[in-house]
Amino acid sequence: MIQGCENPQIEPLQRRAPRISYRIADAADALKESGTLALFGFGAGGPGCDDPRYLQVALECFDAPPSLEVWQVDAPVSCGTDGALRWSAGGGWLFAATELDEREHGGPTATAKLAYEQLHRFVGARGAQHVLRVWNYLGAINHGEGDAERYKHFCDGRAAGMGDFFAEGFPAATAIGHHGDVHRLQVYLLACDQGGIRVENPRQVSAWRYPRQYGRTPPSFARAMVLPAQDALAISGTAAVVGHASAHHDDLDAQLDETLTNLEALLASADMTAGFDTHSPLKAYVRHSTDAARVREFFRQRLPGVPILLLHGDICRSELLVEIDGWRYA
């Protein structure tokens, strides 16, 4: 016999993952659709939209016309701004983004610090405090030698600004160099009122354990994140890194093969079936525009039917030619 209880504890339903899609569409129409949490355009020719849910990402797309990236949730969405920060929320999910000019904030380290302080303060005041995924786009990411490289300055500033932001563990993340205004830093995130499960790659040293040769401050991210309902995997920027070392210097085809091996290892670590399909939107960041056709052909042959955005972006290590991130739905 089942015993009664005056105060039964009802487990909350796990939050269904946002639906991520790439499509050719009018931005205004996409923003009118029910449940649109965020919308992203790519490159310099954006629609000039002032809706807080819209962000024009400073990465050029190799496809013409460029697709929009749409995030949608199963709930009404509210949105607004808080100083330089824009946000939207619905169904337990939160999008927040900030865009800063380094010339106004003391250079790359101080600007990264400020960006993460802003996001930390804002998310900390919201109900959706579990940061699951972060994107970072900065100009001239590989400029400078040794510890003076701009990416290493960014890592220093990010760590200084996050404080205890990620006390429960690092989110999945991407950091890519754009070819727009060198002083422009864009950071945006996806958070939820329920936590996810962090995933590491057994083929790679965890990023926060990288040795000193990669900078004063190691990168701060998990390799992937299982979303709360275990219905999707958010995959961090993934490249041809084995252990902590870059593999196949300046060999695009070998780097693509190694990157795909790392992606499959992440799926296995997350207890997901192998392979990517038509419901697995991915982004490929390609360093040299002359390599875009070869990367597109790689996807056609090895990942047929997978939605792909090909973007012109520099990888955080100058010897790496391509990086892939995205989503895998269960």
Give residue-wise pLDDT tens across range 106-136.
999 999 999 999 999 999 999 999 999 999 9
Give residue-wise pLDDT tens across range 33-49.
999 999 999 998 777 78
pLDDT of residue 257: 98
pLDDT of residue 10: 52
Tell me the mean pLDDT in the region 83-92.
96
pLDDT of residue 206: 97
Q: Which residues belong to the active site?
A: 323
pLDDT of residue 6: 53
Give residue-wise pLDDT tens across range 274-293.
999 999 999 999 999 999 99
Confidence tier at 9 by pLDDT (50, 70, 90): low
Confidence tier at 325 by pLDDT (50, 70, 90): very high
Confidence tier at 320 by pLDDT (50, 70, 90): very high
pLDDT of residue 45: 75
Confidence tier at 167 by pLDDT (50, 70, 90): confident
Q: What is the 3-state secondary structure (H, E, C) of the chain?
A: CCCCCCCCCCCCCCCCCCEEEEECCCHHHHHHCCCEEEEEEECCCCCCCCCCCEEEECCEECCCCCCEEEEECCCCCEEEEECCEEEEEECCEEEEEEEEEHHHCCCHHHHHHHHHHHHHHHHHCCCCCEEEEEEEEEECCCCCCHHHCHHHHHHHHHHHHHCCCCCCCCCEEEEEEECCCCCEEEEEEEEECCCCEEECCCCECCHHHCCHHHCCCCCCCECEEECCCCCEEEEEEECCEEECEECCCCCHHHHHHHHHHHHHHHHHHCCCCCCCCCCCCEEEEECCHHHHHHHHHHHHHHCCCCCEEEEECECCCCCCCEEEEEEEEC
Give residue-wise pLDDT tens across range 202-244.
999 999 999 999 999 999 999 999 999 999 999 999 999 999 9
